[in-house]
Structure 1
């Protein structure tokens, strides 16, 4: 049964919002047909184009508040529970007890306890790792089961995970920065202390804002923030971290915001809205994980240069699509922070290049923001980002 928390309460659209939605449907259909007719991104399969154009037309037609309201009708926990029930997948939910020192910044809103959702994938291997997944959505929107669940379960199968744990973090603007970091720290602490997991048996993955949260958590481990208690991996290394189209820079002055405007379904206006709702301190290395104060020192500790002491993570992968507005920031994070080897790929490439690589950045021709989630929602398994991730995870 889903746990009702401050992170999981659904939105109920008003009568005015419902009326507006139905009035705008014909406009949406016309825009979608126009986009499909004049689509110029030939690198994508038709199902990939349909998904991206659908989201573009949706964002161009409906007010952002109405889209958010509709998305929040099904909270993350409820979406996971219903998906598992429909597909006969074992599931349980746990709400962590809040410790007195979890949030030390009295100026911030109270942080609700973290809600965790344990899913045993059909492919579960008894001695496999545990995958901790942070979903995207700009810290404002919940998980979307049609895309996130099948994608994450494929990831779990590729790395032979014995279970997947989704953090249902509190959403902004009701719960702003650093609420999500506090909850992520509490989750990993629960794994290490209460469940007696070893760092070597944990794979952390996240897309978009979830990729940011994974990075924020790593930064906290090497440079404890004032918002949550320190974390100690007891000298161990996390087995792997996967960053899918991560949101790594709070500023929007990167060139890809202009060059990929109209190619990606995400745009700078939406990114700014998410950022403002989340209301992070741009000076914090746990917020602006590429440009915050001391971020360069943090990442030298997380991912030391070759030949130096071992870092926090044994293996890491960063992915981005060449049509993303976040492309430039993903490149900077992958090359400067993770020190990953860059590999540019397109559909039909030789995916064996990703097998066994410790630190790799996959830049996928023509693909958009978090392409594998869109592909999963459309039942398409052969996208470049999807194939690169699966091949890499097989050697984790």
Structure 2
């Protein structure tokens, strides 16, 4: 269905099918409203009917995108997209920072460092010029800190571009930091290559995104002039997974790049393997009605159906590789605690929505990190919130409360 002349991914069939689905979506709303009429009938008693309908609609649209492809015109790593107010530039690959371990994985996957776009986000009213050297705040000589943001999307969708849905996250963090006068005024978002697999072209498996993350970090250090201690690596969902991998790489491999000063993980995807899918009572299943993500699918023989995002990201390494590699699955239960090192990791703030599928694996990551890092790890769980809730304006008051706590944490760094 993905390649034929009558494919739903081709026009005019795509447009016609999407129009039919939009009508179907509208017709479903009265039924969904009835099903969630009383608090006891809702996925979470604290949820409003509006929350219930939005979660249902999000899942419906996610299924539609899986069948027809992207519904919005977002850029990717192939080209920089300029526009009014867009602060973008190309970042060159950095083969000089690729060690033997990473090169071996890259060679197996058929990927190598390439030139990719990156986009700056500045606080509204900022007088900064794109790529300007770090500032020093007058009066207290406090050095500027910067967010290095890695977007979510399962490594297969979304973008670092300012128009992308997930750009709301660094914008929101910047805005709340500005409210309490922290010296964080901008974010740099790298446009890493997205992965894909059959029936689409097999492209950009691990470690392609990690190669791009290293390049973006090196740009901040080598070209803009930030000290590693003033860089806060930020990632949501798959971006949180990538942020962990980048930090691990910078600390454990002799790249000559300084390690970051802090790590901000928002609903991070921490186990791409099946270890948290084996237990039928895991939050992957018990939270299936209360999150925007879909739960794993069990086949008749009891095995877990391969996930498209995981299959795309692991590529020729194989799905089993995901659960056994701490760069990909630092919370994997297939790995012993001592096999996943967080030695010398910087102060870390981790958020989790209490209603999301990833609760179990995020808590296992927190447990592992705290056992090695102690009080350097801050865990914040927002009651009854969904996955990546900071990206959704309607996830209030949890969203704003979390952003306030993040801004306070940034002030303490």
TM-score bucket (shorter structure): 0.7 to 0.9
Give the aligned partner of residue 325 of structure 2. Answer: 284
Q: Which residue of 2 aligns with 1:238?
A: 260
Alignment of 1:118-133 (within 5 A): 118-122=120-124, 124=126, 126-127=135-136, 128-133=144-149
d(CA) in 2 for partners of 1:391, 1:37: 41
Q: Does 1:259 align with 2:286?
A: yes
Gaps of 5+ in 1: 1-11, 225-229, 302-310, 343-356
Task: Write out per-residue CA displacement over residues 101-125 of structure 1, whole angstroms, 9 at most, x where no aligned residue.
Answer: 7444322133432322122222659
Match of 1:367 in 2: 385
Counterpart of 1:323?
355
Of residues 285-294 and 361-370 in structure 1, the stretch that sits farther from structure 2 once superposed is: 285-294
User: 120-129 vs 161-170, which deviates more?
Assistant: 120-129
| CA distance in 1 between partners of 2:117 and 2:367 (Å) | 33
Contact 1:123 1:156 in 2 (8 A): no
- Measure the CA separation in 2 of the matches of 1:193 and 1:339: 34
State which of 240, 244, 253 in structure 2 corresponds to 1:211. 240
2:368 is aligned to 336
1:225-269 CA distance string (max 9 Å, x none)? xxxxx43355xx532211000000022335011100121110134
**How far did 1:363 drift?**
1.2
Residue-pair matches, total: 345
The 3 A distance-change label for structure 1 pair 341 and 44 is farther
Matched, 1:164 2:187: yes
| Structure 2 unpaired stretches of 5+ | 1-8, 37-41, 129-134, 137-143, 197-202, 298-305
How has the CA–CA distance of structure 1 residues 379 and 94 changed in structure 2, closer, same or farther, with 3 Å as cutoff? farther
Is the CA contact 1:290–1:296 (under 8 Å) kept in the aligned structure 2?
A: no
> Radius of gyration: which is bigger?
2
Distance 2:173 2:294 in 1: 27
| CA positional deviation for 1:380 | 5.6
- Within 5 Å, which residues of 2 pair with 1:370-385? 370-375=388-393, 378=394, 383=399, 384-385=401-402
Say what the alpha-carbon RMSD is for the aligned residues. 3.3
- The CA distance in 1 between the partners of 2:235 and 2:402, in whole Å, is 14
**Deviation, structure 1 residue 45:** 5.7
Are 2:208 and 1:184 aligned?
no
Contact 1:133 1:165 in 2 (8 A): yes
Q: What TM-score comes out, normalization by structure 2 length? A: 0.73
CA distance 1:45–1:167, shift in 2 (3 Å) = farther
- Are the aligned partners of 1:316 and 1:338 in contact in 2 as well (CA < 8 Å)? no
> What is the rounded CA distance, in whole Å, between the counterparts of 2:339 and 2:296 in structure 1?
31
1:1-396 equivalent positions in 2, closer than 5 A: 13-39=10-36, 40=42, 41-44=44-47, 48-59=51-62, 62=64, 64-66=66-68, 68-71=69-72, 73-75=73-75, 81-82=82-83, 85=84, 88=85, 91-99=87-95, 102=98, 103-104=103-104, 105-111=106-112, 112-122=114-124, 124=126, 126-127=135-136, 128-143=144-159, 145=163, 147-157=165-175, 158=177, 159-173=182-196, 174-224=203-253, 230-234=254-258, 238-250=260-272, 251=274, 252-253=277-278, 255-269=282-296, 272-279=307-314, 281-282=321-322, 283-291=324-332, 296-301=338-343, 311-313=344-346, 315-339=347-371, 358-375=376-393, 378=394, 383=399, 384-396=401-413
